A and B are shown apart, each in its own frame.
Chain A
Amino acid sequence: MLTLNCPYCGIAADETELSPGGQAHLKRFGPGSSEDEFEGYLFMRENPRGVHFERWRHSNGCGKWFHAARCTSTLEVFGTYSAQTVEPPAELRKTISEKRPGWSWGEFS
């Protein structure tokens, strides 16, 4: 049962106050995209053992979507950050590198 800090209202929210939103940093492909691009966008997902980036919504709270970086095997939370970004903040990536040297996830490392 996780607790994640909502970066918008500052609450250390209980998992039951949150709704999971799947993998973070998906790039939307719409009309005009190739079959592969669209398949990747809709269906292909990272499934790492280790560092992972996810979307969560503070649904029983301030209602805001946010991003979380955590370890899927130990559940360590490296940080939470704004939903209005297309990549994890540099500071957070540095923190993760300190804790999990050599990590990579999708296009990030």
Chain B
Amino acid sequence: MSEAVTALNGAASDGYVRVEDAGLCGMISLRGDLSDAKVKKACKDVSGQGMPAVRGIAGGLDGGIGWMSPDEALILLPYAEAPAATARMEIALKTVHALVVEVSDARAVFTLRGEAVREVLAKVTPADIATLPVGELRRTRVAQVAGAVWLSDETTAHLICFRSVADYMFELLSRSAMPGSEVR
């Protein structure tokens, strides 16, 4: 099989926060009743994580579940595993009213690293990033496009947006992290 490439093909920029393409990430979108036992089990089987509470994100990029809405979850897993995991989930949920769609290729994933990750994000989103708890997934507006952000620790943030705007997002975040534009 040919080489899969992300929209940014591994790009990174070093400002006062480092902005990097997180590379190929497996993602599965699940629409269904998140409290349903079969749904929870199917999600756990492919991600290793339990269903998070409202706005929560459990685990991380190589195995995680993000709460996207009351009836939508985003499964995170290694890219290569996603097609098979999607198929497994479909089988597991055959008798449940749920929709499982692989979206690994539909998104671009960024990792931001540095002391000031919250500050850089606060330049581009109206969400209250300063108080966003680690492990909470915030879907919001990122400048002019939709995005979802979370912090895995105080100096590492992750951001997911649509693949088609990956260049826009990279440029936006890189500029926001430009040395000299530190706010504090």
Are A and B subunits of one complex?
yes
Interface residues of A (CB under 8 A from B): 8-11, 14, 16-17, 59-64
Q: How far is the CA of A64 from the CA of B54 in the complex (A)?
A: 14
Contact B139 A62 (CB under 8 A): yes
Contact B69 A62 (CB under 8 A): yes
Query: Which of A8, A11, A14, A16 is the one whose CB lies under 8 Å from B70?
Result: A8
Is B61 in contact with chain A by the CB < 8 A criterion?
no
Q: How far is the CA of A8 from the CA of B67 in the complex (A)?
A: 12
The total of chain B residues at the interface (CB under 8 A) is: 13
Contact B70 A60 (CB under 8 A): no
Query: CB-CB < 8 A to A64: which residues of B?
Result: 69-70
Given contacts A9-B54, A9-B55, A17-B126, contact A63 B141 (CB under 8 A): no
Contact B68 A62 (CB under 8 A): yes
Task: Give me 6 A-to-B residue pairs in the complex whose CB atoms sit less than 8 angstroms apart, sorted by A's number.
Answer: A11-B55, A16-B141, A60-B146, A62-B70, A62-B139, A64-B70
**Shortest CB distance B7–A (Å):** 21
* A12 nearest CB neighbor, chain B only: B128
Query: Which of B72, B126, B139 is the one whose CB lies under 8 Å from A14?
Result: B126
Query: CB-CB < 8 A to B146: which residues of A?
Result: 59-60
Q: Chain B 116-160 against A: per-residue CB contact (8 Å), 1 yes, 0 no?
A: 000000000011000000000011110000100000000000000
**Shortest CB distance B77–A (Å):** 22
**Shortest CB distance A81–B (Å):** 14
Contact B68 A17 (CB under 8 A): no
Q: How far is the CA of A16 from the CA of B72 in the complex (A)?
A: 22
Query: CB-CB < 8 A to B126: which residues of A?
Result: 14, 16-17
**Shortest CB distance A40–B (Å):** 32
Query: CB-CB < 8 A to A16: which residues of B?
Result: 126, 141
**Shortest CB distance A4–B (Å):** 13
**Further 20 A-B residue pairs, CB within 8 A, beyond A10-B54, A17-B141:** A8-B69, A9-B54, A9-B70, A11-B55, A11-B138, A14-B127, A16-B126, A16-B141, A17-B127, A17-B140, A59-B146, A60-B140, A60-B141, A60-B146, A61-B139, A61-B140, A62-B69, A62-B70, A63-B69, A64-B70
